[in-house]
Structure 1
Amino acid sequence: MCIVTLNGGHETTTNLISQSIHFLMNDPASMRQLREGEVPLQTAFEELTRFITPLQLQGRRTTQNIELTSGNGTIPAGTEVILSQASANRDERVFEDPDKLVLGRRPNNHVAFGAGIHVCLGRPLARLEAPIAVAAVLKKLPNLTRNGDAKFHRNTRFRGLEQFPVKLV
């Protein structure tokens, strides 16, 4: 539980903040919308969370037989399954134009924080601290520019930047 709390409270939120800046720098129109207050910060944050999904995969174990709605069989009780929140957050049946960052997206029923009894313990804290951090960077560092290519960690579970070279001009 301590490791889960540490990862949830640090690694995922850190990755969410740094990638938010990274993707906003890739999208000047979205950056402008956020800087000029055209989209409420909390609405933009939910879209950034959906788009980025810092925790990409989670494992669960079935407690009973699960009949697949596709009719392609049953997952037996006791089977370890891997859930991809990242894939669910890019599902075109749920999100119009899911591979596009749309800061004002509503509704935005993403599952980046999990759901139900498996909802992220750190969700309230992430929803408080990440928007404040992103807004502070945009306000206090208006001349922040890239200083090379970003490089992502080679980790299938946690999506994060290994390198994100920037400079102030």
Structure 2
Amino acid sequence: MPVVDISTNAEDFQADPYSFYARLRAAGPVHLIAAPSPEYEPSWLVVGHEEARTALNHPDLSKDWRNSDWFLSALATPANANMLESDPPQHTRLRRLVAREFTARRVEALRPRVEQITHELLDAMAARPERTADLIEALAFPLPMTVICELLGVPDLDRERFRYWSSEVVAPTAPGPDNTPHRELGAYLGELVEAKAKSPGEDLLSALIRTRDEDGDSLSPDELIGMAFLLLIAGHETTVNLISNGVRALLAHPEQLADLRADYDGLLGGAVEEMLRYDGPVQNATFRYARVDVEIGGAAIPAGATVLVSLAAADRDPARFAEPDRFDIRRAAQGHLAFGHGLHFCIGAPLARMEGHIAVRALLERFPDLAENPDGPPIWLPGSLMRGVSRLPVRW
């Protein structure tokens, strides 16, 4: 199979990966793509929806990076002791322990506080005499950041330093497998877990420290660091892009925006699902590694190979969604893969959906003439993991 190199037109790809994925998908659901640097072997990219569902839940595709030759020079850190980078039975054990505390009731109890934070941020926006703002700085970043910090019980988190670490983890600017941000963030979270163990509260992190299952099993100190790492990063990075990508899509489709304004109660839920499908916050799932020879979509993937599942490509597959490049808030978008599928389906999806519903409705109600206020071409997040812009200038 020929190797496809997406780096040759990196800027065009970042601006519109969907056209590129459509051309690939027309030629087949699975392709071999060039690695980001010469020392690595090519990896397999899954772009078909049904094939993506298969890959996301395939028992022979490991999530543990130790099963890959890609990161031989990387060292394990406590931050890596998390659910996303583990397989059953360890994954099953970790997820069971966190699910005991990260419950639907705990998430729903956050609703009044999410509404309060949202309105406070919008008050600050409305007070700006210039009537312009970067929506990411004003709302899309501070809302989920504040919520996840308060949920975990870390309101005094050094947010600027954390934002740098988090950005480097999900959209690294340094080439190669530099895990310095992982180490530094892991050390910071280690101090946080230690302090929380000495002085627990009613927050989720304290609950995770206390939790025991029926057999007396509990999370180790490294596992607590890994859980805090995963919940903090996944708990805000994806929601930032859900809000900003969703608002961008609405502003670019004024007829859809008008329909939503006319019937929030009837259309908001479907609109958020369509935002997730149309331009979701995660472009490609994190790597998987073939334990044995695997066949997906007619492609023979050899043992040891690295597999990348494109959620963005899968959610624009015409075999699953009619007219997939059309943004339609009345579409039945259920079945999209924005939160993944199978064992590693995002445990924070209910919280992200709640924040998206509250933020989008409150923003549009507060600013009925909201519009983009471009001051240059969009600055896309680097890398192929996240999908979003680093700034979203708006006016009202």
Per the normalisation by structure 1, the TM-score is 0.89
Residue of structure 2 in register with 1:31 after alignment: 257
Q: Which moved more, 1:89-98 or 1:151-160?
A: 151-160
State how far apart, in whole Å, the 1-side matches of 2:393 and 2:231 are.
29
What is the CA-CA distance between 1:69 and the residue it aligns to?
4.0
Contact 1:5-1:121 within 8 A present in 2 as well: no
Give the equivalent residue in structure 2 for 1:138: 364
**Does the 8 Å contact 2:239/2:356 carry over to 1?**
yes
Alignment partner of 1:127 out of 353, 368, 374: 353
Please provide the CA RMSD for this pair. 1.7
SS in 2 for 1:152: coil
The residue type equivalent to 2:363 in the other structure is: V
Structure 1 counterpart of 2:391: 163
Structure 1 unaligned runs (5+)?
A: none
Percent identity for Structure 1 against Structure 2: 37
Match of 1:51 among 278, 283, 302: 278
Write the distance in 2 (CA, Å) between the matches of 1:68 and 1:31. Answer: 39
CA distance in structure 1 between the aligned counterparts of 2:386 and 2:368, rounded to whole angstroms: 28
Aligned residues: 166
1:129 Cα deviation (Å)? 1.0
Q: Give, in angstroms, the shift of residue 140 of structure 1.
A: 0.6
2:248 to 15, 18, 22: 22
Partner of 1:41: 268
Amino acid at match of 1:50: R
Please give the alpha-carbon distance, in whole angstroms, between the structure 1 residues aligned to 2:303 and 2:262. Answer: 52
State the AA in 1 paired with 2:312.
A
Alignment match, 1:153: 381
Check 1:112–1:142 CA distance in 2 against 1; reply closer, same or farther (3 A cut): same
The secondary structure found in structure 2 opposite 1:22 is helix
Match of 2:329 in 1: 103
Question: Post-superposition shift, 1:22?
Answer: 1.1
- Structure 2 residue runs without a partner (length 5+): 1-81, 83-227
Equivalent in the alignment of 1:93: 319
Higher helix share: 2
Q: Letter of the aligned partner of 1:57 in structure 2?
A: N
Q: How many angstroms apart in 2 are the aligned matches of 1:124 and 1:78?
A: 34
Structure having the higher strand fraction is: 1
Q: 1:68 is matched by which residue type in structure 2? A: I
Q: Verify the 8 A CA contact 2:281 2:387 in the aligned structure 1.
A: yes
Say which one has the larger Rg.
Answer: 2
TM-score with structure 2 length normalisation? Answer: 0.40
The yes-or-no answer on 1:60 pairing with 2:288 is: yes
Please report how far the alpha carbon of residue 90 of structure 1 lies from its aligned counterpart in structure 2 after TM superposition.
0.5
